Amino acid sequence: VYFLRKFYPDWDDDYCARLLERFGIAWDEWIPKMSFGSKIKLAMAMALCHRPDLLLLDEPTLGVDAVSKKEIFSELLAAVQEESHTVLISSHGLSDLERFADHIGVIHKGQMILEGPTDTLLERFRLAEFLPSNGLATHRSDGFYPQPGKQDRFRAVLDIEQYPEERLEQMGASEITMVPISLEDLFVALVREEG
């Protein structure tokens, strides 16, 4: 901590002390003796202590227990909300991002295939289950992502802006049920469709 702060003119000792206390790390704790989770929390504190305008993080909570994950994301949220900082996270921990991120971008094979406010995306897509007509069972297009289903029922992740329930009925579907989808299920459907 003492070594790093020399490199950052905006280093905030008080904020750093609060973060280290919150994360349960002593100023003079020897890093090689720390647990993996404590090392991650220390790295996060060091990234935040100079109050950057933009913070880029790659898998910031990989290998960290649930309690530590929540602490880390709480501090990231506070940094964004209190200081108007931007935090860009690259992660495969989609359930964490679903809870904490306000904007999501899905990149597959170097291309952005979906992006938008998290709440909007999760409202826009649904997992539909229905009895299909013959043509609907083989239907493929943007916004319609077939999923493994039960023997007699068909499942698809749908962009309900393109495929509202009424359109499915017009296409021959019956006994339609639509349920909210998780970010992880949406990601899998999009990536599977993209190949």
**Contact between 77 and 47 (Cβ < 8 Å):** no
CATH class of 117-194: alpha beta
pLDDT tens-digit series, residues 47-73: 888 888 898 999 988 888 888 888 888
For the chain, the structural domain boundaries read: 2-91, 117-194
Distance CA 61, CA 53 (A): 21
Question: 114: closest CA among 106, 122, 126?
Answer: 106
CATH tag, 2-91: 3.40.50.300
Give the pTM.
Answer: 0.74
Rounded average pLDDT per 10-residue block, the chain, 195 residues? 82 90 86 89 88 89 86 82 82 87 91 94 91 64 62 81 88 88 91 72
Is there a shared CATH topology between the 2-91 domain and the 117-194 domain? no
DSSP run (H or E) holding 105: strand 103-108
- Residue 81's CB: how many other CB atoms inside 10 A? 10
Question: 132: closest CA among 94, 158, 102?
Answer: 158
